[in-house]
Amino acid sequence: MTTKSRTDEELWGAVQDLDRDLLDLTTPTEVLDSAAKAMGLDPSALRAEGRALATALLDEKRRAWTAGHDRACLLAALSPEAGEAQSAAACPARVMPLWLAELTPWIDDSPSDDAWPHVVRRYASLARRWHVLDSAAWERARIGALLAIVEEARTHAGDDARVIAAIDGVIAWLRRGAPESERLALADAEAAAAVAAVAVAAAADRMAHGVLGAIEQEIEKEEASR
């Protein structure tokens, strides 16, 4: 069946009527599809445009929340050097250690839309306090952050006994303080990292808070000892 051609003005008026139904979450999808087809619109294309608009609005909300900084610029906000070079390696050690500079874009980009504002607020709050940490405290924070990530990854490891055993070995090593003399085989560490990478999409919120929690724990220790 040939779809009747519509003028832009007619389509605009029809879509305005459809908007009320689109904004009503209780309207069945079948009803919306039928109404769109009756107006000469492609329902699948309409849904795709709606998803794109929703994504754009969420990104706009995030940019507004960060007072004009792009959401990927959390590291650049703390280290203009890293922003200019577009590399975490350019971040001065006085700002943060390299491992955290490399992790910061992930902390900025990976959390869910609901969790992201709280994660970034917590990060910013810790950034104002972590000047109290010396190199030993930063190393403990790094190990704690790794432990939080790998422990979360383990919950997504499935039933593969080999992978679980590798992850458990990494966890035990980290809990002992990750001594160089007991460094695990590279294959085991890579297996744990692979599981962590797969788990990121499902558990980024908990991983991000786990990393920040490890840093916060060391800050609180240092502040309490002063």
Q: How confident is the model at residue 51 (pLDDT cuts 50, 70, 90)?
A: low
pLDDT score for 67? 43
Q: How confident is the model at residue 211 (pLDDT cuts 50, 70, 90)?
A: very high
| 100 pLDDT more than 70 | yes
**216 and 115 in a common domain:** yes
Short-list 218, 98, 82, CA closest to 148: 218
The answer as to whether 96 is a domain residue is no
- Residue 13: domain span: 8-65
Q: Report phi then psi at 113, rounded to 5.
A: -60, -35
The answer as to whether 83 is a domain residue is no
Q: Is the pTM of this model over 0.85?
A: no
Ranges 68-77, 98-107, 109-118, most confident: 98-107
**203 and 135 in a common domain:** yes
The answer as to whether 169 is a domain residue is yes
Q: How confident is the model at residue 181 (pLDDT cuts 50, 70, 90)?
A: low
In terms of C-beta density within 10 A (0-12 exposed, 13-18 middle, 19 or more buried), how is residue 27 classed?
middle
Query: CA torsion angle for 189, 191, 192, 194 (degrees, to 10)?
Result: 120
Q: Which one is predicted more confidently, 135 or 77?
A: 135
CA distance 29 to 116: 30
Q: Which one is predicted more confidently, 52 or 226?
A: 226
pLDDT score for 133? 96
* Contact (CB, 8 A) for 76 and 83: yes
| Mean pLDDT for all residues in the chain | 73
pLDDT score for 123? 93
